[in-house]
């Protein structure tokens, strides 16, 4: 486990940091987890599809000199509602506002078509031990909620492929379709709190694999905000957002239960 408190902690304060996080965890009643890259292993497939969709429409528009890389897509698109992600990635290129809006609409349409067939039992799975983590959290009296920048159709398809369901492995699924403002706005977390009658945001844990997940948790006033290194962004990228801790994988939470 890598601990963070504005800066990466030294080995001498490692134990103190773990104890501090553990103490905060005792008060958590609601755990809100991102899906792709955090609880769901899909090898960044969604961002590869975003990259390919953007590059396809750039080529169609005669702008093949402005092809985007997977690294750019991960840095500026990770964790976001996918149309917003595409727009923000295009905004990094030297394009007019009109071109950005037009290309965003076209690329998002291509993305949705390609994503519909990309996710299947061969391309995604739960991270090892994830179902057991959910079970242990629920047995300890905590609610487990998945939230995501995916639309509801895609998110529910992922649950079906994994064999997860609301009311069984998880207590709720909240998607970008369910709120007015996606990440980094706190709306999805706020909605989860309302569903489970949690009034104090300090009793909420938010974990995700991108900086925007961390910002979401901080904007919601969560008592514990964690980054994980199993998905879109690396430790150097996540540490800039000052999470309470950075875990190698979400299942490290088991040691706190």
State residue 39's pLDDT score: 97
**Residues 132, 51: Cα–Cα separation, whole Å:** 33
- DSSP-derived secondary structure letter, 170: B
- CB of 74 closer than 8 Å to CB of 68: no
Strand partners, 33: 146, 207
Integer CA distances (angstroms), 10 to 2, 4, 15, 17, in order: 10, 9, 10, 10
- CB of 130 closer than 8 Å to CB of 39: yes
What is the gyration radius of the CA atoms in the chain, in angstroms?
Answer: 18
Q: Using the predicted structure, report yes or no on whether residue 100 has a pLDDT greater than 70.
A: yes
**Residues 87, 150: Cα–Cα separation, whole Å:** 15
Q: Using the predicted structure, report yes or no on whether residue 136 has a pLDDT greater than 70.
A: yes
Q: Using the predicted structure, report yes or no on whether residue 179 has a pLDDT greater than 60.
A: yes
199-227 per-position pLDDT tens digit = 999 999 999 999 999 999 999 999 999 99
State residue 109's pLDDT score: 94
pTM of the model: 0.83
Q: Using the predicted structure, report yes or no on whether residue 23 has a pLDDT greater than 90.
A: no
Q: Using the predicted structure, report yes or no on whether residue 4 has a pLDDT greater than 80.
A: no
């Amino acid at each position: 486990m890598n601990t963070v408190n504005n800066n990466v902690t030294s080995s001498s304060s490692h134990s103190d940091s773990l104890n501090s996080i553990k103490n905060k965890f005792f008060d958590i009643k609601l755990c809100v987890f991102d899906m792709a890259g955090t609880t769901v292993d899909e090898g960044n497939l969604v961002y590869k599809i975003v990259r390919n969709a953007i590059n396809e429409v750039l080529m169609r528009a005669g702008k093949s000199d402005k092809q985007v890389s997977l690294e750019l897509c991960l840095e500026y698109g990770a964790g976001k509602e996918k149309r917003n992600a595409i727009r923000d990635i295009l905004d990094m290129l030297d394009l007019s506002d009109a071109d950005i809006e037009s290309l965003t609409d076209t690329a998002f349409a291509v993305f949705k078509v390609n994503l519909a067939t990309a996710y299947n039992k061969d391309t995604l799975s739960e991270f090892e031990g994830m179902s057991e983590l959910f079970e242990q959290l629920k047995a300890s009296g905590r609610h487990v909620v998945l939230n995501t920048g995916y639309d509801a159709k895609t998110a529910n398809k992922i649950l079906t492929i994994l064999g997860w369901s609301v009311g069984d492995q998880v207590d709720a699924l909240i998607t970008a379709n369910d709120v007015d403002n996606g990440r980094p706005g706190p709306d999805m977390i706020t909605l989860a709190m309302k569903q489970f009658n949690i009034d104090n945001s300090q009793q909420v844990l938010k974990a995700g694999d991108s900086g925007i997940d961390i910002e979401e948790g901080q904007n919601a006033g969560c008592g514990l905000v964690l980054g994980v290194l199993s998905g879109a962004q690396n430790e150097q990228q996540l540490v800039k957002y000052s999470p309470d801790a950075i875990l190698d994988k979400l299942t490290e939470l088991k040691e706190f239960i």
